[in-house]
Amino acid sequence: MSKKADSVIDDLVGTLTDPIIVYPGGWGDSLPEWLKDASTLERLTENMKGSKGEQPTGTDAEACAYLNTASLTVPMDSDWSQIYLYVAGKTYTRWSKSEMPEEIRVNSLTNQQTSDLSRLKEWLYRRRTTTRQEAERNERRQQKEEEVDKRKAEQPALFEF
């Protein structure tokens, strides 16, 4: 198989199996199942963009999950609160979970907030793919070490001193 085909398959498998990146602090287990599923389905859409030559990024659902766990761990400033309410509103509405109450709905972001959200999504994508690649490298390294140990165990000692 060509390297490009391997990469496409790797990206597709990663889309389905990569972990959802959450803010450190122990709240990752509190994510609702529907948000985990939405993250995976939105990743599939991003993966298709990547196969067309566009640069893939994290998704709205992934950003929502990250900001959800961050909001439970540390206080957010007003910009990140607005970004969280904006992306949560889009995600909740897209997946028919509920409508954001009018009092807290954020319909648009400033240019700086849009830039911050884009950077967050890019970071989430890099973090998720880097985590997968590191796990694959560790697995290959462990397999090589096991093969070397097995060969050493099977090879008779020619000289013993």
Confidence class for position 2, pLDDT limits 50, 70, 90: low
- Answer yes or no: is 156 within a domain: no
Residue 68, pLDDT above cutoff 80? yes
**Does residue 35 lie in a domain region?**
yes
The pLDDT tens digits of the residues spanning 95-112 come to 987 778 889 999 999 999
82 in a structural domain: yes
Tell me the pLDDT band of 113, cut-offs 50, 70 and 90: very high
Is residue 131 one of the residues assigned to a domain?
no
- Residue 80 inside a domain? The answer is yes
Q: What is the pLDDT of residue 161?
A: 53
In total, how many domains does the chain have? 1
Domain span at residue 98? 3-126
Q: Are 18 and 129 in contact (CB under 8 A)?
A: yes
Domain membership of residue 31 (yes or no) is yes
Q: For residue 148, is it within any domain?
A: no
Low-confidence winner among 21-25, 54-58, 80-84, 156-160 (lowest mean pLDDT): 156-160
Question: 75, exposed or middle or buried, with CB in 10 Å at 0-12, 13-18, 19+?
Answer: exposed
Residues 128, 21 contacting (CB under 8 angstroms): yes
101 belongs to a structural domain:
yes
Q: What does the pLDDT look like over 21-64, one tens digit per residue?
A: 999 988 989 999 999 999 999 999 888 887 788 888 999 999 99
* Whole-model pTM over 0.85: no
